[in-house]
Each structure stands twice: as C-alpha cells, then as structure tokens.
C-alpha cells in the first residue's frame, strides 16, 4: 500500500474513452470539515489537514461525509472542499467524495458536481428517512451509477439511515461495473461475513467502524474509511497495512493501543468528539454547525484523558 504493499486495482468506467483505474484499498480518512470562528469554511485548515494526511501515508481522502458534517454543507462548500483536496493531492492519492441522500435525482446532480470538481470516486450513503425497499435501493444506486463514469462505494450505515442493504442486494449491485465496493458500518459481523461470501472477489468490503477493522479484514475486508485517522493517520495506516500483509499479531498490537481513541470518538454523535479532540491537538478550531454542538463537560474530560494517554497533546494548549 502506502509503503509498497500490493493493492487491489479496479476498473472504474471510461472517461473520454480512457479506462480509469483507481485504488480504493487501505485507509481512507473520513475528513472533518474545519470551520472558522465566524462559522464559514476554513479553507487554509482544509489544506493543512489534507497535507497532514498525505504526509502520513493515507491511501485516499473521503470528504463531505458524516464526519464532514455533510448535511449542513452547502453545495458550493462541498464543491470547494473537493477542489481543494484534489489540488493538494496532486494526483498522488484519490479523492472519494460524499454524494448520497434520499432524492435520487438530486444525488445524480451532486455526483456530477463532484466529478467536475475533480473527485476520482463517490461514497454514496443509502437513502435515509424515506426507507426504500431492497429493490428501491438497487434501483437508486443503479441510476446513480448509470449517470456517472466515476467508481462508487456504497455506504451502509443503518444506525443512521434506518435502512440496511442486504447481502443479496449488495451482490446485485456488485454486478454494476462502476459500483466497486461497500463501506460496511452495520456493526453486524455475521452480515459482513455474508457480504464477503456473496460478493465477487474484486468487490471491496471496507469497514465503516474503526474498532471492527481487523475482524473484517480477517474475513476478507480490504481496509477502513476511518474517523480515527483524522487524529492518528499514521497509526491507522500501520495497523491496516500490517493486517493486509497477514501479520495480524502485529496489527493487534496497534489496535489494542489505539482502541480507547476509537471508542471515545463515539462517546457522543460523530463528529463531535473527533473535532473536540483535533481542536485540543491544535489542528482545527472547535466549531460545529447546529444541530451539532460542543460535547458535554464529562465527555470532554474523557476525550482529553484518552489523548493524554496516547501522548497526543504535545505542544497543544489544553
């Protein structure tokens, strides 16, 4: 991967007659969106965070998702974030832009905007609130896939959306050429086993939960779209690359050391804890957009305790 480990390559459709070949294994960071104290997009901070991720060996960037406070971003802000990340990446790593929601027609338009901004792939969450059937899910993602040449990783997170993609539906979606994988955040290991069994060998199954990454990789998963890599990108890369080489004993050493951070990142709704942690580390201003707000005092103390335990507050004013 980032240090020479072999990585899976996917045919991702054609643009202007040329076949796109994109790597989506390893670690993708579900980037937070930094805001200024006035509440606007903090573009210099977006650039700093991108450079920090790239320097740490991250394999791809994932902006404008749940961790990026996607529901409160304007279309112009989403486009601008992707433009900045594409510019900072400079072709070194791909950018998997968030483009999902409950209105298929609107998501098709958003996907095109992300493509024009330079995104090399799309992460598309299942429709939420309107709770489609399995056939509705299939038709939704097929329509998006047919509208774009970009590779798509579907995002299954029933705890947030109220709808689960069944393994059989994922197997159908995997037959669509530019649907190349799934971010599995159901928390259901049995379901993940079923997905790995029924999907084609070249269909990527990525973890959507940091703490479940190693169990999923042991049964065929190929990495993680990570929250914790916002804080500790090099550690998450080390854990995943070591597991990808088959050295699970060494990967478990990393996992056990950083597990408290993986857990405390969800002590309140994501991305509140991770943004509080990054602010304490001096990486961003601690600014949220409503309905997200600052963590409770008792939660903040738990976050800081974990950061101190991992020696992540060096040079930070806390």
pLDDT in tens, 73-119: 999 999 999 999 999 999 999 999 999 999 999 999 999 999 999 99
pTM of the entire predicted model? 0.92
CA–CA dist 218, 101 (Å, integer): 31
Residue 1 lies in a domain: no
Query: Catalytic residues, which ones?
Result: 155, 183
pLDDT in tens, 119-169: 999 999 999 999 999 999 999 999 999 999 999 999 999 999 999 999 999
- Give the structural domain span for 17: 9-245
Residue 318 lies in a domain: no
Q: Is beta strand 223-226 parallel, antiparallel or unpaired with respect to 60-62?
A: unpaired
Residue 209 lies in a domain: yes
Residue 65 lies in a domain: yes
Confidence tier at 1 by pLDDT (50, 70, 90): very low
Residue 302 lies in a domain: no
Residue 270 lies in a domain: no
Tokens (6 digits) for 41: 């997009």
Average pLDDT over residues 280-303: 97
Confidence tier at 12 by pLDDT (50, 70, 90): very low
Confidence tier at 316 by pLDDT (50, 70, 90): low
CA–CA dist 47, 29 (Å, integer): 14
Which residues in 180-202 are b (16+ Cβ under 10 Å) and which e? bbbbbbbeeeebbbbbbebbeee
Tokens (6 digits) for 157: 């997170």
Residue 160 lies in a domain: yes
Tokens (6 digits) for 56: 């740490």
CATH number of residue 57's parent domain: 3.20.20.70
Q: Is beta strand 9-15 parallel, antiparallel or unpaired with respect to 18-23?
A: antiparallel
Domain count, the chain: 1
**C-beta separation of 301 from 273 below 8 A:** no
Residue 252 lies in a domain: no
Confidence tier at 7 by pLDDT (50, 70, 90): very low
Q: For helices 272-280 and 248-264, give the axis angle rounded to 10 degrees.
A: 100
């Amino acid at each position: 991967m980032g240090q020479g480990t072999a990585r899976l390559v996917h045919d991702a459709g054609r643009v202007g007659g040329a076949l796109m070949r994109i790597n989506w294994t390893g670690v993708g960071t579900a980037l937070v969106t930094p805001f200024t104290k006035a509440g606007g997009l903090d573009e210099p901070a977006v650039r700093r965070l991108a450079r920090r991720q790239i320097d740490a060996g991250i394999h791809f960037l994932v902006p404008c998702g749940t961790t990026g406070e996607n529901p409160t971003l304007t279309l112009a802000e989403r486009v601008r974030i992707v433009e900045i990340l594409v510019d900072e990446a400079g072709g070194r790593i791909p950018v998997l832009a968030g483009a999902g929601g409950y209105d298929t027609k609107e998501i098709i338009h958003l996907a095109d905007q992300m493509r024009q901004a330079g995104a090399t792939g799309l992460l598309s969450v299942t429709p939420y609130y309107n709770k489609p059937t399995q056939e509705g899910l299939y038709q939704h993602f097929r329509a998006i896939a047919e509208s774009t040449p970009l590779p798509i990783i579907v995002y299954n997170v029933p705890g947030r959306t109220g709808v689960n993609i069944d393994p059989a539906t994922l197997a159908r979606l995997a037959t669509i050429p530019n649907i190349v994988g799934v971010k599995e955040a159901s928390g259901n290991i049995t379901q993940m086993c079923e997905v790995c069994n029924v999907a084609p060998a070249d269909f990527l199954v990525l973890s959507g939960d940091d703490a479940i990454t190693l169990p999923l990789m042991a049964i065929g998963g190929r990495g993680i779209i990570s929250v914790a890599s916002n804080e500790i990108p090099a550690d998450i890369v080390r854990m995943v690359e070591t597991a990808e080489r088959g050295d699970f004993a060494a990967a478990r050493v990393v996992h056990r050391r950083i597990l408290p951070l993986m857990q405390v990142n969800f002590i309140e709704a994501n991305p509140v804890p991770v943004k509080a942690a990054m602010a304490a580390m001096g990486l961003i201003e601690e600014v949220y957009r409503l309905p997200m707000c600052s963590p409770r005092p008792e939660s903040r103390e738990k976050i800081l305790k974990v950061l101190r335990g991992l020696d992540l507050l060096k040079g930070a004013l806390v």
